[in-house]
Structure 1
Amino acid sequence: MSYPTPWQGQWPHQPSPGQGGGSMLAATADRERAVDVLRAGYAEGRLREDELEKRVARAYDARTVGELMLLVADLPQGPQTAPAVQGPPMGFRPVPPTFLPSPVQRTNGKAVGALVCGLLTVPTLGLTGIPAVVLGHTARAELRRTEEAGEGMALTGLVFGWLSIGGWALLILLGLIAASASSG
């Protein structure tokens, strides 16, 4: 007696609902996965071209996962059985960590203070330079010990703070030179 091949759909051993989800309705992704397995089988020389075309057509017409499993049952990659454990609802796929938003880091308060004081050195004519430097160095020390964000803010505050201190030092030095040159 000659049995028909499984992919012709007349195979006597259709999976029952309890055997790997064979009666579960097939999704587009399931059909595409089956077609990929079929194409790989053709590329490896396991299927003839006419057989590939017939199976691909049946894969796109399949209503259940069981029908798809039968189409790829005689190929190395197939069939993929559904997990026995009840998982998430159908159609649910967990989002890969790559596509999840990154967790928001807490920003160091002293780094924010250093940035504000550093930026205020321009309108205050350098009066906030010393607080910017103190806050910037303190913030950078804390950032090395903690997982907080704010390195760029602390560094910006330090740069503006030191520039204002340097500007005041240069201004005082030029004033002293001018005072000593005029008195001498």
Structure 2
Amino acid sequence: MTSPWGQPAPWPGQQGQPSMLAGHSDRERAVDVLRAGFAEGRLQQDEYERRVERAYQARTVGELGLLVADLPQGPSGFPQAPPAVPHTFMAAPPTNGKATAALVCGIATFFTFGASALPAVVLGHIARSEIRRSHESGDGQAVAGLALGWLWIAGWSLLLLLVVAAAK
């Protein structure tokens, strides 16, 4: 199909716009479709060879479209699996609020000289049990809050033992 000026006709749906120039990947995709059509018995050997030759000589995407317009766009009989979504683009599970609170209390122990250590430990244990049950995220925050809380509790306990031992 050509226009009155001898140019290849544009893609259907692109009426009035010139066809885009074809790249190497466009030509290879067209040849792949032709190869699949030949393998399925939709094309005779001589027609397949002529179309492949024309595909490699095609200048526009419209010309390539005309070469494969009467073929399915890939092997038939095989259902196409949906493309896998990379883990990066999947929605992350919500973060457990108690895990965040445990971490905040654990960090606050440096400013409160250990007064927020006990809440950090309690919130950390509650958060970890909720995370196991609900599969939320935030386990690392809960563990960090637990570790900081227990470190301050152990530190104050050791200091209290030293004071009691020194008083005797």
The TM-score range, normalised by the shorter chain, is 0.5 to 0.7
Distance 2:53 2:158 in 1: 86
Measured after TM superposition, the shift of residue 66 of structure 1 is: 5.3
Q: Which runs of 5+ in 2 are unaligned?
A: 2-10, 39-44, 75-81
Q: CA RMSD in A?
A: 3.7
Q: Which residue of 1 aligns with 2:31?
A: 35
Distance 1:57 1:95 in 2: 29
Identify the range of structure 1 (155-164 vs 119-128) with the bigger mean alpha-carbon deviation.
119-128
Q: Secondary structure at the match of 1:122?
A: helix
Distance 1:81 1:136 in 2: 55
Measured after TM superposition, the shift of residue 39 of structure 1 is: 8.4
The structure whose residues are more often helix, as a share, is 2
Letter in 1 for 2:67: L
**Kept after mapping to 1: 8 A contact 2:34/2:68:** no
Q: Which residue of 1 aligns with 2:111?
A: 123
Deviation per residue, 1:123-163 (Å, 9 max, x gap) = 11111111100000011011111031110110000000000
Alignment length, in residue pairs? Answer: 136
Structure 1 segments, 4+ long, off by >4 Å, are: 22-30, 36-41, 50-53
For normalisation by structure 1, the TM-score amounts to 0.58
Larger Rg over CA atoms? 1
Q: Which residue of 1 aligns with 2:62?
A: 63
Q: Percent identity?
A: 43
Measured after TM superposition, the shift of residue 109 of structure 1 is: 1.2
Q: Which runs of 5+ in 1 are unaligned?
A: 1-8, 10-21, 74-78, 83-93
